[in-house]
Amino acid sequence: MLDRITGASKATPASNGHLPDDANLITSSQQLASRASAWDAVQAARNIKRPHSLDIITRVFDRFQEIHGDRGFRDDPAIVGGIAELDGRPVVIVGEQKGASTEENIQRNFGMPHPEGYRKAIRLYRLAEKFHLPLITLVDTPGAYPGPEGEERGQAEAIAKAIFTMTRLRTPIVVVILGEGGSGGALALAVGDVVLAMQNAIYSVISPEGSASILWRSPAEAERAAKAARLAGPDLLDLGVVDALIPEPPGGAHADHDATARSIKTALIAQLVRLERVTIDDLLSSRYERFRGYGTLAEEGALVVPPAREPLWRRLRRMAGLG
Amino acid sequence: MPFGRKPKEFPDHLWTKCPSCGEMLFNKQLARNLSVCSKCEHHFRLGARERVEMLVDKGSFAEQDASLSSGDPLGFVDSKPYPERIAAAQLKSGEKDAAIAGSATIGGNPVELVVMDFEFMGGSMGSVVGEKITRAAERALAERRALVVVSASGGARMQEGTLALMQMAKILSALARLDDAGLPYVSIITDPTTGGVLASYASLGDVILAEPGALIRFSGERVTSGTVGEKLPVGFGKSEFLLEKGFLDQIVSRTQLRERVAFFLTAFRAASQDMRWSL
């Protein structure tokens, strides 16, 4: 299993002498004994006791130094970021930050970033590129803030620019969907070379409530909308939107923040060890192909199934020149 | 108008009432004026085919990827299954999906053009729209042409779930390559453009032009009021508002659009023409 994920055989010495055991990553929905219902996944992903970005950052990384502000308008508390060490080496981290209490949620705007939050994220992306540091993002948002202040300051432009910047950022990017991956506001942090999701995370084009109020004309139909949207971890694996799920401790991530953080740390180190062997040009063309390949099309009346994407482990292996 | 009846002298197939100023407009004359009210400049929504016709040099449009239509990756069913919804929209519009693409010239400048059609499922962006724009960008890159995209869309297509969301990253990946290659991309925003379309390619043109009075907003009214619980002032999120806030380069009347696009494209092509500075 380990070989399958990391693409390295056990005989191959790891570059830094530390090849972590991440045998627990879930790379196929077949590996899961049972599937939670979509609505259960939505509830789990939104659980207020779930570890949020700073809970994970403080447990996974050492010497975290936060970086504030977009240099234009203000510091958005719904996005946190900075420099820290992962296993002794510096990385750049950007995460969407929800609160663990109502009070904190008001301060963090329930994890819904304003445009200046995304502009802070872009500033951190560029910093990672400039200093050749890997970028790690933690996605956890119901969506970008949809209010009038966001519109005035260019919410759409800020999100577009963030996605655009990530598509060609010349440094490895590992994305972890931590809880809620709400639409464009999530994608602004989620264009990566490796996209992982927590076992109970969700990722969707619109919130179940939003799609219920548009398609069923009633937010009360959110449960049905969640099921139709195929937004839970196993669905995301089946659709190829994420590469692997990080298993959560029994009872869910909220039951044990430390154990959750350990699983994330193991997964991150393993992925970065793989990615650092790949030349940046190969990484960028592979990132292009990855996102280029999404979509299902029927051409000339005949259903064309897009060619199955090369599995992550084989892609990395090929790029690392291991055959 | 006694008893709310329409006077006989304005039959529907000959006349259209301007929703903005109430003027009765003779259909033939309205069409000749590119569906712009001759009294108040109200811009009626335009279908994709009409848009192509008014924007490109006469007879220069060669459609590409016309046969692309969408699969049903999620097996999505709301009040009816997604494939039925597509079939109904195809039957109604005669189009395969919410955008048409092709090669053309605008004022003599060779371009790859994609035009969205709001009439097809609210102009929603799924795999087909994503693929057409991406292919157009890739053709532009290969042929060293400019890319022009005319947006009119409610946003990403919910029925394709996260795969619709991924189209945003797919298109922007291709636009980044155009940008790296120094090729122009002109974004034209028309009424209405919202959601994931605005939060990706519509907002990132080298030049961004919009038609007057177009609704241009990140969040739909229902999403905003559902989430934030506040009513927005009238005129909020129209093109004029965005120009003032600095997110558009110009508001251009439809009657001047072709000429204006041609101006920018010609200027950006200066290096390959006699107009160049020795830089």
Residue ranges per structural domain of chain B: 11-44, 45-271
B202 touches chain A (CB under 8 A): yes
DSSP states of B186-234: EEEEEEEEEHHHHTTGGG--SEEEE-TT-BEESS-HHHHHHHH--PPPT
User: How many contacts, defined by CB atoms under 8 Å, are there between A and B?
Assistant: 201
Nearest to B173 among A183, A288, A305 (CB): A288
For the stretch A142-152, pLDDT in tens is 999 999 999 99
Q: Give the dihedral of Cα atoms A268, A271, A273, A275; nearest 10 deg.
A: -130
pLDDT band of residue A87 (cuts 50, 70, 90) is: very high
Question: What CATH number does residue A148 fall under?
Answer: 3.90.226.10
Distance from CA of B131 to the nearest CA of A (A): 8
Task: Note the maximum CA span of chain B.
Answer: 72
Residue of chain B nearest A212, judged by CA positions: B78
For the stretch B145-156, pLDDT in tens is 999 999 999 999
CB contact under 8 A, B236 and A151: yes
**What is the model's pLDDT at position A32?**
85
ipTM over 0.85 threshold: yes
B residues 80-139 lying closer than 8 A (beta carbon) to A: 126-128, 130-131, 134
HSE at residue A40, side-chain half, CA atoms within 13 A, is: 10
**CA atoms of A280 and A129, how far apart (whole Å):** 11
**CA atoms of A26 and A3, how far apart (whole Å):** 13
Kindly list the residues from chain A whose CB atom is less than 8 angstroms away from the CB atom of residue B206.
none
Task: Note the maximum CA span of chain A.
Answer: 58
B67 touches chain A (CB under 8 A): yes
- Extended beta strands in A67-170, E state: 79-86, 89-96, 135-141
Spell out the residues 6+ positions from residue A103 whose beta carbon is closer than 8 angstroms to its own.
none
**What is the model's pLDDT at position A216?**
87
CB contact under 8 A, A295 and B126: yes
B220 touches chain A (CB under 8 A): yes
For the stretch A294-315, pLDDT in tens is 999 986 544 444 555 666 777 7
**What is the model's pLDDT at position B141?**
97
Q: Are A38 and A231 in contact (CB under 8 A)?
A: yes
CB contact under 8 A, B163 and A191: no
CB contact under 8 A, B127 and A287: no
**What is the model's pLDDT at position A300?**
55
**What is the model's pLDDT at position A59?**
98
Q: Are A143 and A107 in contact (CB under 8 A)?
A: no
In total, how many domains does chain A have?
1
CB contact under 8 A, B195 and A184: yes
> Look-up: residue for tokens 């927590």?
A198
**What is the model's pLDDT at position A153?**
96
Kindly list the residues from chain B whose CB atom is less than 8 angstroms away from the CB atom of residue A213.
222-223, 226
Q: Are B261 and B209 in contact (CB under 8 A)?
A: yes
CB contact under 8 A, A296 and B71: yes
The token pair that represents B230 in the structure block: 């506040």
**What is the model's pLDDT at position B230?**
62
**CA atoms of A135 and A188, how far apart (whole Å):** 13
pLDDT band of residue A161 (cuts 50, 70, 90) is: very high
A residues 286-315 lying closer than 8 A (beta carbon) to B: 287-288, 291-292, 294-301, 303-305
**What is the model's pLDDT at position A23?**
60
A285 touches chain B (CB under 8 A): no
Nearest to A160 among B68, B76, B172 (CB): B172
Kindly list the residues from chain B whose CB atom is less than 8 angstroms away from the CB atom of residue A152.
245
* Mean pLDDT, rounded, for A281-294: 97
A196 DSSP 8-state letter: E
The token pair that represents A315 in the structure block: 């892609």
Q: What pTM was estimated for this model as a whole?
A: 0.91
CB contact under 8 A, A295 and B176: no
Residue of chain A nearest B127, judged by CA positions: A295
List chain B pLDDT tens, one digit each, 279 residues. Answer: 455 555 566 777 889 999 999 999 999 999 999 999 999 999 999 999 999 999 999 999 999 999 999 999 999 998 899 999 999 999 999 999 999 999 999 999 999 999 999 999 999 999 999 999 999 999 999 999 999 999 999 999 999 999 999 999 999 999 999 999 999 999 999 999 999 999 999 999 999 999 999 999 998 765 555 555 566 676 788 999 999 999 999 999 999 999 999 999 999 987 666 777 776
Identify which has the larger pLDDT, A12 or A90: A90
**What is the model's pLDDT at position A14?**
35
Which of these CATH numbers, 3.50.50.60, 1.10.8.60, 3.90.226.10, 3.40.50.880, describes B45-271? 3.90.226.10
Distance from CA of A315 to the nearest CA of B (A): 19
HSE at residue A35, side-chain half, CA atoms within 13 A, is: 16
For the stretch B75-84, pLDDT in tens is 999 889 999 9
Q: Are A155 and B199 in contact (CB under 8 A)?
A: yes
pLDDT at A135 over 80: yes
Spell out the residues 6+ positions from residue A60 whose beta carbon is closer than 8 angstroms to its own.
A86, A261, A264, A265, A268
Distance from CA of A57 to the nearest CA of B (A): 26
**CA atoms of B188 and B208, how far apart (whole Å):** 6
A13 touches chain B (CB under 8 A): no
Long-range contacts of A69-73 (CB under 8 A, 24+ apart): A69/A116, A69/A120, A70/A116, A70/A117, A70/A119, A70/A120, A70/A123, A71/A119, A71/A123, A72/A116, A72/A119, A73/A115, A73/A116, A73/A119, A73/A153
A residues 215-234 lying closer than 8 A (beta carbon) to B: 215-216, 219, 228-231
CA-to-CA separations, A93 to A67, A193, B12, B243, B268, in angstroms, rounded: 10, 15, 60, 34, 38
The token pair that represents B10 in the structure block: 């304005």
Cis peptide before A219 (omega within 30 of 0): no
Work out the angle at residue A189's Cα, subtended by the Cα atoms of residues A188 and A190, and round it to the nearest 5 degrees. 100
- Name the residue range of residue A289's domain: 2-319
